[in-house]
Amino acid sequence: MTALALMSISSAHATSLVFTTESYPPYSYRSLHGEVLGMSVEQVREIIRSSDADISYTIELLPWARALALAETQPDHCVFLTARTPEREAQFQWVSPLAVTRNFLVSLEDRDIRATSLADLRSYTVGTQREDYTESLLRQNGFQHLDLSASYDFTLSKLLNGRIDLMPMSQTVIEQLKDKGTPVAPVVQLAEQTLGIACNKAVSTQIIASLQTSLDRMLSDGRMSDIARAYGVSRVP
């Protein structure tokens, strides 16, 4: 049998998956040439490549609420980087952890907003992404003045233009924005959160196990850390 025939048989049996994510540099973003790039994108590609699962896949950059909803409702979808919260635990099958982040409420530097607790900030307007875990976390902490956007980019634009007072942001993103001269300042820590790949419950458990084994190897041999450092991210699980 020819090599081409063998490839055709292999691809015929491959499981097709769609991985969705949002624009959130340096974890995931679209390049000037239209490519979906970023730390977590590269990690997901390497997890799949290093696994023994026969998978064909695409990665799509979408508004977060849409990316999450597809993984909840479509049997061939997974979404990343997804906060592994108690509320979401039973909704998905998980491949994790890809990252652990410290998330802060951030203001513009010239606002000079001071606080010692989240309770001190409840009177401010806080922007975040629709269906992001920070939305439910803010509501749980008594925040009533929420401004919801489709994407991180929209939320950041609102902060920079003075349309909102605060927004949640990971420590890595804060540091990279400040390095670029963006005048943001962390005010109070909101959460420390484990992030991973959340897959629809209909995805084969064998595929999930294969991807998890691949991730575990990458965490052990340092490849996850190597990818993170290439994007200026110092903290990995």
What's the rounded mean pLDDT across residues 48-74?
97
Q: Which amino acid is at 208?
A: I
Q: Is residue 205 part of a domain?
A: yes
Considering the domain architecture, whether residues 155 and 92 belong to the same structural domain is answered as: no
What's the pLDDT score for residue 8?
35
With CA atoms as reference, report the closest residue to 98 among 191, 208, 228: 228
pLDDT of residue 45: 98
Shared domain check, 87 and 32: yes
State whether 51 and 119 are in the same domain: no
Task: Answer yes or no: is 235 within a domain.
Answer: no
Place of tokens 């390497």: 46
Taking residues 128-140, report their average pLDDT: 96
Q: Is it the case that residue 233 has pLDDT exceeding 90?
A: no
Tell whether 50 and 28 lie within a shared domain: yes
Whether residue 26 is predicted with pLDDT greater than 70 in this model: the reply is yes
The pLDDT-based confidence of 237 (bands split at 50, 70, 90) is confident
Instruction: Tokens for 143, please give them.
Output: 């925040």
Residue-level pLDDT at 157: 98
**What's the whole-number mean pLDDT along residues 144-148?**
98
Domain at 184, CATH number: 3.40.190.10
**Residue 178 covered by a domain:** yes
The total number of structural domains that make up the chain: 2
What is residue 88's predicted lDDT score, i.e. its pLDDT? 96
Q: Are residues 93 and 200 in the same domain?
A: yes
Q: Are both 200 and 93 inside the same structural domain?
A: yes
Instruction: Give the residue with greater pLDDT, 129 vs 112.
Output: 129
pTM of the model: 0.89
Pair type for strands 93-108 and 184-199: antiparallel
Same domain, 92 and 202: yes
pLDDT band at 132 (very low <50, low <70, confident <90, very high): very high
pLDDT in tens, 73-119: 999 999 999 999 999 999 999 999 999 999 999 999 999 899 999 99
Same domain, 116 and 131: yes
Residue 7's domain comprises 3-98+195-230
Residues 181 and 135 in one domain: yes
**Res 234: pLDDT:** 75
What is the reported pLDDT for 2? Answer: 44
Whether 109 and 57 share a structural domain: no
Predicted local confidence at residue 46, as pLDDT: 98
Mean pLDDT across the chain, nearest whole number?
Answer: 93
In a domain, 202, yes or no: yes
Per-residue pLDDT tens digits for 163-179: 999 999 999 999 999 99
CA distance 146 to 168: 11
- Flag whether pLDDT at 1 surpasses 50: no
Position 142 scores a pLDDT of: 98
- Count Cβ atoms below 10 Å from residue 210 Cβ, excluding itself: 20
Q: Is residue 236 part of a domain?
A: no
Does 52 score more than 80 pLDDT? Answer: yes
d(CA 127, CA 105): 10
Using the 8-state DSSP alphabet, how is residue 145 labeled?
Answer: -
Q: Does 81 fall in a domain?
A: yes
d(CA 13, CA 183): 51
Does the residue 151 lie in any domain? yes
Residue 130 lies in a domain: yes
User: Residues 69, 105: one domain?
Assistant: no
